[in-house]
Amino acid sequence: MKLLRPALLTLTCLLVQPTLANDLPSLGDASSGIVSPEQEHVLGRAWLSLLRGQVKQLSDPQLKDYVENSVYRLAETSQLQDRRLEFVLLDSPQLNAFAAPGGIIGVNGGLFIHAQTEAEYASVMAHELAHLSQRHFARGLEAQQRMQLPMMAAMLAGVVAAAAGAGDAGIAAIVSTQAAAIQAQRRFSRQNEQEADRIGIVNLERAGYDPRAMPSMFGRLMRQYRYDQKPPEFLLTHPVSESRIADTTNRAEQYAQGGTQDSLRYQLMRARTQLKFESTPGVGAKRFRAMLDENPEMDAARYGLALAQMKAGQLADAASSLEPLLAKAPDDLTYNLAQVELDITANRLQQAQTRLQRLLQLYPGNYPVRQMHIDLLMERGETQQAERELDKLAEQRRRDPDIWYQVAEVRGLSGNIVGLHQARAEYFALVGDYDQGIEQLNLAKRRASNFQISARIDARQKQLIEEKRMVEDMLR
């Protein structure tokens, strides 16, 4: 990971705050008014853009779509009032998830590896949503004001580095901070965690999941990493103890037996993620075969095997693996997208087009299907049509840097140079590089063919300049 820029470090000092020791204020009282929900919204997006410029993310549309839909489902039954959520998926196999002010939800790819069921995954997400609904950031500002900023900065630099996957460097930064400050942070964090556990269990049950998944996952993680000198980042920022497991167990047992434990959809996404972090496709294929030997009916393992075979160039074997899955569930989105990807790889573009047209009818507006359609149009050399479809997608996902990156590439190929610079400006703004974004709009203005286009570009440039100024003001 790159060294943390001063801007990110300073902003992080505002984000990861300890909360008050005993009686937490109600959300409507004076102390919670130190920062308004709208200020949190702006602050969170500024932090997210800076984070995106620092760490590598997962760009898999299916994983992004799954996380977004699953968290929105949990949010519907939560106490979260402002549901303008935004997501970032970090390309890290380490177990971690986090919430930041203003509705920012972060997930490491490693969460799918460590959370063995959908209910376990949902328990982590419900916990993070509780941090947001209880506005732990705003409620911790009073405690922050009593701590010396340099001490806070040193400690929080380590917290951010650890969250971003810096491992030993992050841990070293934390332990090098003065012991008294560390103890205070841990004490405050424990109270935040207890409240997030309590509310998370309530929300988990309301959303239809088995609330026992939370203590089950905590217990398994503690047993797994009890003697590990380098535990996963999640356990550094969400320390698990016997008392915490006992407390969540007691709370979960107050609910009747039942609730969703797992789903095939989650296991399919889990297989995709596991394969991403395998050293080679062959290693992944070997593991999925072993799972099928143990249980031939494990469809998620068969799906993972098909992806591994495709990645290794074994296209005929991949087709054989997908065939029984599609026969069993001919309309399944995940299986059909895998078949489309296989057909594109094998240059069977007409077959891929026919299947995609059917998927577009079955799942209108679905992000992964639309993205696959754009990929196919590019393979077919239909650049202008791909550009039109991308423009529509960018309109719906305006804060997705992956989309704007591809928009810039496609506009360049189609000869839309003004549009290329405009798309690059949006991308750079979303990853926190406002200077580059503003410069890209300068380049666009020089090539603008008429006054109307130039005026629109100029208006957007003024917006970016204002956003940059606002972020800089917050960081002072």
pLDDT at 152: 42
338 is a domain residue: no
Residue 177 lies in a domain: no
- Is 68 annotated in a binding site? The answer is no
State the Cα–Cα distance between residues 260 and 210, nearest whole angstrom: 6
The residue among 231, 251, 271 that closes a domain is 251
In the sheet that 104-108 helps form, which strands lie side by side, from edge to edge?
A: 86-90, 104-108, 97-100
User: pTM of the predicted model, to two decimals?
Assistant: 0.85
**Does residue 88 sit in the same domain as residue 237?**
yes
Provide the annotated active-site residues. 128, 197
Give the pLDDT of residue 36.
Answer: 72
Measuring CA to CA, how many Å separate 315 from each of 158, 268, 318, 346? 45, 20, 5, 7
81 and 228, same domain (yes or no): yes
Token readout for 73 is 């489902």
Residue 127 annotated as binding site: yes
- Please report, in angstroms and rounded to a whole number, the separation of the first and last CA atoms in the chain: 25
Do the domain assignments include residue 400? yes
* 118, part of any domain: yes
| pLDDT the model gives residue 165 | 53
* The residue type at 230: K
Q: Who's near 210: CB < 8 A, 6+ residues apart?
A: 119, 204, 258, 259, 260, 261
Confidence (pLDDT) at 33:
53
Cα separation values, 279 from 58, 224, 264, Å: 17, 22, 25
Are 328 and 361 in contact, with CB atoms under 8 Å apart?
no
Q: Do β-strands 86-90 and 104-108 pair in parallel, antiparallel, or remain unpaired?
A: parallel
**Helix spans in 134-178 (H):** 136-139, 141-145, 149-163, 168-175
Q: What is the pLDDT of residue 173?
A: 45
Helix (H, G, I), strand (E, B) or coil at 209: strand
pLDDT of residue 464: 95
Residue 136 annotated in ligand binding = no
Q: Measured on CA atoms in the order 153, 182, 237, 207, is the torsion positive or negative?
A: negative
Q: How many domains does the chain contain in total?
A: 2
Q: Is residue 156, in this structure, part of any structural domain at all?
A: yes
pLDDT of residue 57: 94
Q: Look at the block and give the residue holding tokens 């529509």.
A: 392
Domain boundary among 251, 268, 292: 251
Residue 205: CB atoms within 10 Å: 21
Q: Which two structure tokens, joined as six digits, stand for 111?
A: 């969460």
How would you write the pLDDT of the chain (476 residues) with one tens digit per residue?
A: 344 444 444 444 434 333 322 333 333 333 345 567 777 777 778 878 888 888 899 999 999 999 999 999 999 998 888 888 999 999 999 888 888 878 889 999 999 999 999 999 999 999 999 888 776 565 555 555 544 444 444 444 444 555 555 544 544 444 444 344 444 444 446 777 888 899 999 999 999 999 999 999 999 888 888 777 777 777 777 778 888 899 999 999 999 888 999 999 999 999 999 999 999 999 999 999 999 999 999 999 999 999 999 999 999 999 999 999 999 999 999 999 999 999 999 999 999 999 999 999 999 999 999 999 999 999 999 999 999 999 999 999 999 999 999 999 999 999 999 999 999 999 999 998 999 999 999 999 999 989 999 999 999 999 999 988 887 776 56
Helix (H), strand (E), coil (C) string for 355-399:
HHHHHHHHCCCCHHHHHHHHHHHHHCCCHHHHHHHHHHHHHHCCC
Task: For residue 148, count other CB atoms closer than 10 A to its CB.
Answer: 10
Q: Does some domain include residue 60? A: yes
Task: Give the amino acid at 352.
Answer: A
Q: Are 54 and 43 in contact (CB under 8 A)?
A: no
Whether 172 maps to a domain, the answer reads no
Residue pair 169/161 in contact by the 8 Å Cβ criterion: yes
Q: Would you state the structure tokens that stand for residue 457, as one six-digit string? A: 């570009």
Q: Of 273, 222, 306, which Cα lies nearest the Cα of 94? A: 273
Boundaries of domain holding 447:
389-475
What is the rounded CA–CA span in Å between residue 225 and residue 250? Answer: 23
Report if residue 268 sits inside a domain: no
Structure tokens belonging to residue 436: 């580059």
Residue 150: its pLDDT value, please? 45
For the chain, give the number of residues: 476
In the prediction, which pLDDT does 136 show? 57
| Among 382, 385, 355, CA closest to 369 | 355
pLDDT of residue 239: 79
What is the phi/psi pair of residue 96, to 5°? -170, 150
Work out the burial of residue 38: count CB atoms within 10 Å of its CB; fewer than 13 is exposed, 13-18 middle, 19 or more buried: exposed
Decide which of 251, 280, 307 is a domain's last residue.
251
